[in-house]
Structure 1
């Protein structure tokens, strides 16, 4: 029996593991000699940041929840490592599967490798070149010691080859987040704010900001919000705020009848809003992927991106972190001059099947 431990911990992970679990469940039902154990580190514990995703995406209850919530990044990583070491000693698999670039990804990779367990990194090889981002540090360290890499693009493969990985370790499979998006698109449902504000398609903007570089300095965050309000004409701005961001927003005293700060939304509700939005303004890498596939204009409040395909082939533009940059992009948006998305190779809804095929036909026989 080939045993796989799948790691999840934070909101971005849930969309990435769901299709993999569903495909593995099908393989097991068809008689394949494999099994999996789902381990939730507990990095995100809020109902809307975690619980509702499991329900809506039909993710089974984790076999273990390590309960490692809160604290600084170092404290959280240390707590995850201590808890996951005990988990792995009690349930040692053939393979640990980590996804994305959150603290859980890095911490569990370190533990697995120290216990001589092979690690496969889903979404390996993507790079922003910005070492001030915790996610970039997580990616680079994870990829430096992982054994196998399921990649989203040829550029990710090239990054890994440049860093010394072998072609035999790399598997270009696509993007599991898009598997989840396409599978669930017909089930998107309107959130309360849709009816409460009587929103109409293409008549509002969705805003998300959570990165420390954008939200930790109150003065900078306030300047960005003021500019967004100023340059978005008369359309409502819907801002589902991360709990951490919401605390900072309370100190800013920005009140505007068009700015609606709401609680985080479930997966199906949030993507309903994005799907029908005039545009998305965000600093999230994952949202740029989803917006591009849904052909929704996306303005990214960052100076770099680890997902360049969303710019070359998608609807994303890098606006940067200077609020004054917004005007020219929003002028273009309101003039109806935004680019249309093109086909992104392997982002077709079949990524999880390709991952399972590699595991069954290549990794299980090693």
Structure 2
């Protein structure tokens, strides 16, 4: 009998990370893939990345609307509460054998809660890491409810075991997004050039390797009131540098409106010809763009994970990635325009770094799927110390 694995996709980053895993689940004769969509992945405001040509032919079993507009701590809490209800209904309808969740988004905790209360085992990818923001608390809460763990690094795996999880339930696999990167031509920027002509807004940027920057700055939920001021410092730095820059819109966390407002004001006030703005990018385009960038700036985990794997310099701003293991490619700075500008100049002068395997080698899916097939799940958990 096949085992039904339910994968929930709620954000562009999660789809990029889960895409290859979903392919391998779908191909395996012992597994049946179930797909639920919800959150920002289905909304025009965040780019509706699933309507691009870079989407696999996955059958969607359920679509959920749980995101309450506002991007405040109140609406985030309400969205999480609504998500528990809606995911419980979806699970009751689909009857999965396992729910597979990734990382530390707030709705992933809601997914895990719904599954756990319904005695559906949970497998968690990218647990055991350390970071800033509310993500830190959510990640570890999911770990304590999950029944099977697929951390991206040995350090994260050791941390999961120290949290009282059974060592035999922990499998170090690496970052799943690397699997996609390993399969595409990262030196081919022609699709990025073409996509720039039909998507986004702003100037037309020359996509010359090593001559442009990428900026991705997400809100820090625990610094909600300061997000507008924080993005203002980044804007000042990039405006002073005036290098060709691709800006990618923030995620849907509380404080997103502040980040978005800062970017919009910058765009409308200065109309920078050296900047192009995207709501989102498929990983098949983002991968080559990141690999050939002179620097990635902001607070996205892409600067810590994918950029290290690709050897791209990163200027990491603020507290969102505090404590997360990082490679040699990262320079950390505060929310200060002069400090950001100096670090960008420093990283551009340095140039590319050697690829860092801290978060894996591009073969995570092949390690995850066999375990999903054979693992002996039980809804009952016990702390192991």
Q: 1:307 to 1:184 in 2, by over 3 A?
A: farther
Question: 2:179–2:362: 8 Å Cα contact kept in structure 1?
Answer: yes
Per-residue CA distance 1:60-82 (angstroms, 9 max, x = gap): 13211112233321121111111
CA deviation map 1:82-138 (0-9, x unaligned): 11111112222221111121122110100111111111101111111x3xx132222
Structure 1 residues 4-83: aligned runs within 5 Å: 4-28=5-29, 32=30, 34-47=31-44, 49-52=47-50, 55-71=53-69, 72-83=75-86
Query: Paired residue for 2:243?
Result: 235
User: Which stretch shows the higher mean deviation, 235-244 or 198-207?
Assistant: 235-244
1:349: which partner in 2? 362
**1:97 aligned residue (100, 122, 134):** 100
Q: Which residue of 1 aligns with 2:117?
A: 114
State the shift of 1:11 in Å. Answer: 1.3
Structure with the bigger RCO (C-alpha within 8 Å, sep 6+) is 2
Q: Counterpart of 2:91? A: 88
Partner of 1:182: 182
* Aligned ranges 1:272-351 → 2 under 5 Å: 272-303=288-319, 305=321, 308-312=324-328, 315-334=329-348, 336-338=349-351, 340-344=353-357, 347-351=360-364
- Asked if 1:135 is matched to 2:135, the reply is yes
Once structures 1 and 2 are overlaid, which stretch shifts more, 74-83 or 269-278?
269-278
Aligned Cα root-mean-square deviation (Å) = 2.9
TM-score (norm 2): 0.82
Q: Which residue of 2 aligns with 1:201?
A: 209
Equivalence for 2:382: none
In 2, the alpha carbon distance for the partners of 1:8 and 1:242 equals: 17
CA deviation after TM superposition for structure 1 residue 242, in Å: 3.4
Is the 8 Å Cα contact of residues 234 and 340 (structure 2) preserved in structure 1?
no
C-alpha distance in 1 between matches for 2:121 and 2:293 = 42
Give the 3 Å change call, closer, same or farther, for CA 199–250 of structure 1 in structure 2: same
Change (3 A) 1:122 1:49: farther
Query: What is the CA–CA distance in structure 2 between the aligned matches of 1:300 and 1:280, rounded to whole Å?
Result: 8
Q: Which runs of 5+ in 1 are unaligned?
A: none
Provide the C-alpha distance between the structure 2 equivalents of 1:109 and 1:86, rounded to a whole number of angstroms.
Answer: 13
Distance 1:74 1:42 in 2: 14
Judge conservation of contact 1:53–1:266 (CA < 8 Å) in 2.
no
TM-score (norm 1): 0.86
Could you give the per-residue CA deviations for residues 176-209 of structure 1, whole angstroms, max 9, x where no partner exists? 0111222234576224548933342211211111
Runs of 5+ in structure 2 lacking a partner?
Answer: 70-74, 198-202, 252-256, 380-385
